[in-house]
Amino acid sequence: MAELISRIAALQDKETYRDLHWEGSFEDYLKIVRERPTVTRNAFQRLYDMVVSFGEEEYVDNKKKLVRYPFFSDPMEGGKDGIFGLDIPLMRLVHVLRAAAQGYGPEKRIILLHGPVGSSKSTIARLLKKGAERYSRTPEGSLYTFSWVNLEGTGLAGADDHFPCPMHEEPLTLIPLDWREKAIAELKLGDDHHRVQIKGDLDPACRFIFQGLMERHDGDWSKIVNDHIRVKRLILSEQDRIGIGTFQPKDEKNQDSTELTGDINYRKIAEFGSDSDPRAFNFDGEFNIANRGIVEFVEVLKLDVAFLYDLLGATQEHKVKPKKFAQTDIDEVIIGHTNEAEYRKLLNNEFMEALRDRTIKIDIPYITKLSEEIKIYQKDFSAGRLRGKHVAPHTLEVAAMWAVLTRLEPPKKHELTVLQKMKLYDGKVLPGYTQDNVKELRKETTREGLDGVSPRFVQDKISNALVREGSEGYINPFMVMNELEKGLSNHSLISGEEDRKNYTELIGVVKSEYEEMVKNEVQRAISADEAAIARLCANYIDNVRAFTLKEKVKNKYTGRDEDADERLMRSIEEKIDISDARKEDFRREIMNYIGAMAIEGKKFTYETNDRLRRALEMKLFEDQKDSIKLSSFVSNVIDKETQDKIDIIKGRLIKYYGYNEASATDVLSFVASIFARGDVKQ
C-alpha cells in the first residue's frame, strides 16, 4: 500500500466499523434483546434517552428549580448549533418527550415549535435529528432491522435474492400478533428498566413476502426466520434517508402527498405485473424513510390541506396510507415548527380544529437574558473567525443589549425603566428589588420575547460594520450601533412606525449606558494602582474603626492622636451614594463584616467588599484624574509627562480589558471628551 494512503487508512477504527455493520440470525438477535432489551425502544423512548444521555443540570433561578440539558449546547460538534437562554422552553420540550416515552399521550401528537423568526426553532429540530443520528451509532443507542435473504427461486422478490425491509422495521414485528405477548413472557424479554413491547405490523412489501414464504413452507414460521431472515444493525442517517426525514413545503403544482407516503415504481410494474403489487412500490416518502426515527416538518402550517390529512393519521394512529395499499404502521417522532403569522391563521381557521387538537405547542421565544444573548454573537464573531480583525470590548454587549431591550415589555409598575428591568432579568442586584419582584415582572407580561428584533438582524449589522469599518482593523460599539440605526429604516419585519421609533429611542438608551460603562472602565484603569488603593483602604478602615469605637487615630506624620477624619470617610462614602443619615449604619456594617471574616480566619482586603472597592476606585480616580490631565487628550498638545501617564493607562486597557492599541486610543479620546464637557455621573 502506498505510504500516504496507508497513513490515512491507519486512522480508521475497524472494530467500530464491524460493530456498526453487525449482521446475524434472528436467534442471535433474540439473544441481544435478552441482554439489552433497550434495543427494542420506540422512537420517542430512544429520542428522550438520547437527550438525557448527555446529563441533566439542576439549578435555581428566581427561587424556581430548573433543569438544564447539556445536549442543547451541542457537545457533539463543539457548540456549533448550541442554543442559549432557552432553558425553560427546552425543559418543556424534554418533559413532552418524557411523557411520550412513557406512553402518557404526547406520542400521539405533533410537537409544534412556535415562535418569532430567528428564535432557534429550526436549530432545535436540527439538533434532535443530529443527536438521533449520533446516538444510533453508540452501543447505548443501537437498534436493528432485517432483510429477506435466500429468495432466489421463490419468485417473491423478482430476480433478486435479497430484499431489505423498505421501512427498516423492528425484527420482532416478524412474530405474528397472536403470539407476541406469550413469546415475550416465554423468553423473559425485558427487565425492570425496559419492558419489551412489540407494536405495529409489517409493511405491505414485507407482509407480502412473509405470507408467500408461509405458504411455501407450509406455515412453518421457524423455517422462515431461520432460512430467510438476516438481522443487521441500523444506523440512522439524514444523508442516506434512513430513519431521519425532512419535509419542506413547495408550491402546490410541484408537490403531492406521495412525497410523504411513497409512490409507484413504474419500472417494476413490468416485472411484477401490477401497480398494486407492493414490490412495485417505492416506500420512500418522508414518513416511510423516517420510520424508527424522527421527521421534521419545516413551516408545517404552510402545508396544503391534502398533506395535513396524512399528518393527522400519522400522528394519532401512527399509520400512513400509501396509494393502493392498506394503512401502514410507523414509529417516529413528528416535529414541526412555524412562525407567529402562520399559527394565527391556524387559530382562525375552523376547518383546522383536528390539527389543533393533535398538536402540542411549545413556545420558543427570543432570549430576554442579556448574558445569554451575548453568547450568540460571541460564537459567531470570536477572534478565531474574524481573520485578524479586532472587536473592541462591549461591542457585542451593546448589540445584545439593544436586541434584548426591543423584546421587553415596559414595566407596568415598580417604577422601573426597561433598562433596569433588563438588568434584573440578567441577575443583577438593584437596591430595593428582590427575586420576587423579577417573578412579578415576568408574570405581568403577555407577549414578552415574542416580539422585537431577531439575532439574525443584529448579526447582519455586525457583519456590515466589520466590512465597512473593519479596514481600520477593528470595530467598536458606536460603529455597530450606527449600523443598527441605519438598518431600522428599511427593516422588512418592522411594519409600524411606532415600533421603529421605539427601537431608535432604545439605541439612544444603549449609547448612554455604554458611556457609563466605558467611563467606569477608564476610571478603573486610571485607579488600577493596587498599592495606592490598599493604602487608601487601610486609611479608611483605621478612621472607621476609630469612629465606631469612639477612639482617636494616630497621625503618621505628626504622631499626635486626632479625631477620625470625617472628610476622608465622607469623600469615599459619597461615591456610592451613602447619605449622611446612613453613614453610621454603613460604617458599622463594614466593621461587622471585618469581624465576621476574622472569626472565619479570613483576612479583609479591599477586594472582599465589592461596594467598598468601587468607592475606593472612584475616590482614587478623582484624586488622580487632574494630575493625569486626561482632558488634555482631546487637544493636540500633550506634554511628555502626561503622555507617559496616558500610555500607562492605555497599557492597562490593553492588558486587563481586551482593547488593542487603536481601540484603547479611541476609547480614551471618547472618555476624555466626556470629562472635558463635564458630563460625569457618579
Give residue for cell 457618579.
682
Instruction: For residues 645 and 14, give the distance between their C-alpha atoms in angstroms, rounded to a whole number.
Output: 64
Residues 6+ apart with CB under 8 A from 219: none
Identify any residues that bridge with 24 across adjacent strands, giving them in sequence order: 231
Kindly state the DSSP code that residue 554 receives in the 8-state scheme: E
Cell triple for 652: 492597562
List the single range of 1-10, 26-35, 134-143, 333-342 with lowest mean pLDDT: 1-10
Distance of CA 548 to the CA centre of its chain: 52
Q: What mean pLDDT do residues 426-436 have?
A: 80
**pLDDT tens per residue across span 294-325:** 999 998 887 777 777 788 889 989 999 998 88
**Could you tell me how many residues make up the chain?**
682
- Residue 92 confidence (pLDDT) above 70: yes
| Mean pLDDT value of segment 609-616 | 79
The pLDDT of residue 634 is 47
Q: Which residues contact 188 (CB under 8 A, 6 or more apart)?
A: 34
Q: What DSSP string runs through 246-282?
A: EE----GGG--THHHH-EE-HHHHHHHS-TT-GGGEE
Q: How confident is the model at residue 535 (pLDDT cuts 50, 70, 90)?
A: confident
Q: Identify the CA nearest to 202 among candidates 273, 105, 291, 274.
A: 291
- Taking a C-beta distance cutoff of 8 angstroms, is the pair 259, 287 a contact? no
| Highest mean pLDDT (candidates 277-286, 393-402, 440-449) | 393-402
The Cα–Cα gap between 146 and 173 comes to 10
CA angle at 504 for the pair 498 and 507, rounded to the nearest 5°: 145
Average model confidence (pLDDT) across the chain? 86
pLDDT digits (tens, 9 = 90+) for 577-604: 888 888 888 888 888 888 888 887 878 8
Among 457, 125, 450, smallest CA distance to 300 is for 125
Confidence at residue 624, expressed as pLDDT on a 0 to 100 scale? 67
Q: Three-state SS for 176?
A: coil
pLDDT band with cut points at 50, 70 and 90 for residue 277 = confident
Residue 185 pLDDT exceeds 70: yes
The dihedrals phi and psi of 231, each to the nearest 5 degrees, come to -90, 145
- Max mean pLDDT among 61-65, 418-422, 624-628, 664-668 falls in 418-422
Q: How far apart, in whole angstroms, are the C-alpha atoms of residue 631 and residue 633?
A: 5
Report whether pLDDT(622) > 70.
yes
Greater pLDDT, 593 or 677: 593
**pLDDT exceeds cutoff 90 at 90:** yes
The predicted pLDDT at position 575 comes to 83
What H or E segment, with its residue span, contains residue 210? helix 204-216
Percent of the residues in the chain that have a pLDDT greater than 90, as a whole number: 44
Residue 556's alpha-carbon distances to 441, 542, 562, 570, in angstroms, are: 53, 12, 10, 20
* 39-84 confidence digits (pLDDT tens): 999 999 999 999 999 999 998 877 778 999 999 999 999 889 999 9
Strands 333-338 and 143-148, by their bridges, are unpaired
